[in-house]
Structure 1
């Protein structure tokens, strides 16, 4: 602060500026983060640039987590977070506010084994929640649309029957769905089943284009696990079995590039872009890491570059993630720790980097 005393104000200001510089330098080095002290695996360490820090106060009632958390989705306009979990006699979806208050649980019998979860039409008066179901029972191998309170609205696929058909649609352990504001959908189908597909559907559920070959070549997949579309109309797919991310033109389906050099130790499980469009958040389950990668400019894919890593404790097993596109807050579903965690954007002045 400035001290309004003649002969001292400049000296104090210089000291303050020097302190800020020292803080920036310190935080640009490896920075251990304190354990949150609540629940298993709450110790985190930060490597590289300090972009996110754990919010240890979220949620306010962690005892609500009673199963394995597989997916998380945010409605930033309503300030609501949905967490999909699995287990015997546990609610399949828990609903919290972005501030951490528990709202409700879905005790629906129409979900067997939820995997990916996504909020569509978030800005509208009628948002919906899409969930992929990888179960092998009578309700599995489908993608389901629910109301915010858990009422089943629509089912894509043939319940209980895995398949590869397009008319009618069939899936085999569909991993995740991403819905654009236009209503167009992108589905990665193949969490270990017979299919290894990226499918784009129109708002009317017509197939617009598809890549569906298993392999290691360009536009081939092995366990495509997560999908996201950026504002440059590029489709980013976490090609888990091949330890890489593949990129496509969202309009034509044309292959644009591949990122693989950042994933030599572990595969990408989840991919999302930060609201400032500067970074991609990538989750790696086996190494218990959340990495932030530089987002390339329009017209260039290039090579991946990791700028920040949140190293979680052993056996946390982060699976899928989502971002609050208003605040930049990051939510991660963790199978091993049986919880979801919230990370907030970190900077010295409290603004999103």
Structure 2
């Protein structure tokens, strides 16, 4: 079965239907309806102390941009991505990717001129830094980049400013995950787009694609984040469907979880503790669920802690959209609307 046939299978249509009809046939996700029957998980302990904002401003910046990515690399450094100013890096001088030491001092930065709308962020097992540009402006966007730990551009996928459904183009790539063997997965769809997962080999050659727009098993409405547990299962934050979907590495659907609310970001550590950032609940998207970071087990789906956002019951989207955890157990939130990097330190 080819990658595009696989995409048809998950979308529930036959291979004779023109590709352009996939999105039109399936429609958008049901948003608040997707969490029906699951009581909000809000009343949990918070064993962390909040520090915000944290870290120096990015070099050359007079204020933080919208922070969309934060992860620690194997070298011990903390890598952060932000959207420069006014939610875009187009025609901006700032470097959207910044490398910090663990005291919050900036060590290096890069990426100016490459991005329109920095979005997905990932540091792989070798320390390479991956980033997606989720929206096009005619000249930039719809691309995936791989950098060395020091900012050397190693790989570029997609066509600048060109949105499409195929083997060499993206439509709103939202996140990226490198698998242990070197293959990598890219999620697509940010309100528009393909709502699929694409797999590439280490050289960036297309292998397979799966998913499609909708709310059924294996379908997506804004697949916003992707992570992997110790068993090799793939966790995808299907944000506009208010759920996490879990798959085998080949795209075989396993189950869905709604107890982590509306997922914008997912991080799973080596002990299978899962951290899920919810930056959009409480309002009409997911009524009754407070915004914040929910912490639990990727093994059994239990939720143990809730780092409630300071604006958890505002209608506006706020709070951490990206989430990362360092080797000391500190939790970092990439905050978009309030433009900052926050740090949550365990209370010993």
Query: Does TM, normalized by the shorter one, top 0.5?
Result: yes
- Aligned pair in 2 of structure 1 residues 232, 65: CA closer, same or farther (>3 Å)? farther
- Aligned pair in 2 of structure 1 residues 73, 262: CA closer, same or farther (>3 Å)? closer
Decide which of 75, 78, 91 is 2:76's aligned counterpart: 78
* 2:109 matches 1:105: yes
The within-5 A match list for 1:108-147 is 108-122=112-126, 127-137=127-137, 138-147=139-148
TM-score by length of 2: 0.74
Residue in 1 aligned with 2:171? 172
2:240 is paired with a residue whose SS is: helix
Alignment RMSD: 2.4
Distance in 2 between residues matched to 1:117 and 1:230, nearest whole Å: 17
Q: Which runs of 5+ in 1 are unaligned?
A: 1-45, 298-303, 349-353
Q: CA deviation at 1:235?
A: 0.2
Distance in 1 between residues matched to 2:234 and 2:198, nearest whole Å: 11
- Aligned pair in 2 of structure 1 residues 295, 52: CA closer, same or farther (>3 Å)? farther
1:241 is paired with a residue whose SS is: helix
Residue in 2 aligned with 1:195? 194
**Structure in which a larger fraction of residues adopt strand:** 1
Distance in 2 between residues matched to 1:261 and 1:80, nearest whole Å: 29
Residue in 1 aligned with 2:152? 151
The within-5 A match list for 1:1-353 is 48-55=44-51, 58-60=54-56, 65-87=63-85, 89=92, 90-106=94-110, 108-122=112-126, 127-137=127-137, 138-166=139-167, 169-250=168-249, 252-263=250-261, 267-277=262-272, 279-287=273-281, 288-296=291-299, 304-314=301-311, 316-324=318-326, 326-346=327-347, 348=348
Verify the 8 A CA contact 1:212 1:220 in the aligned structure 2: yes
Distance in 2 between residues matched to 1:100 and 1:228, nearest whole Å: 25
| More contact order relative to length (CA 8 Å, sep ≥ 6) | 2
- Aligned pair in 2 of structure 1 residues 275, 50: CA closer, same or farther (>3 Å)? farther
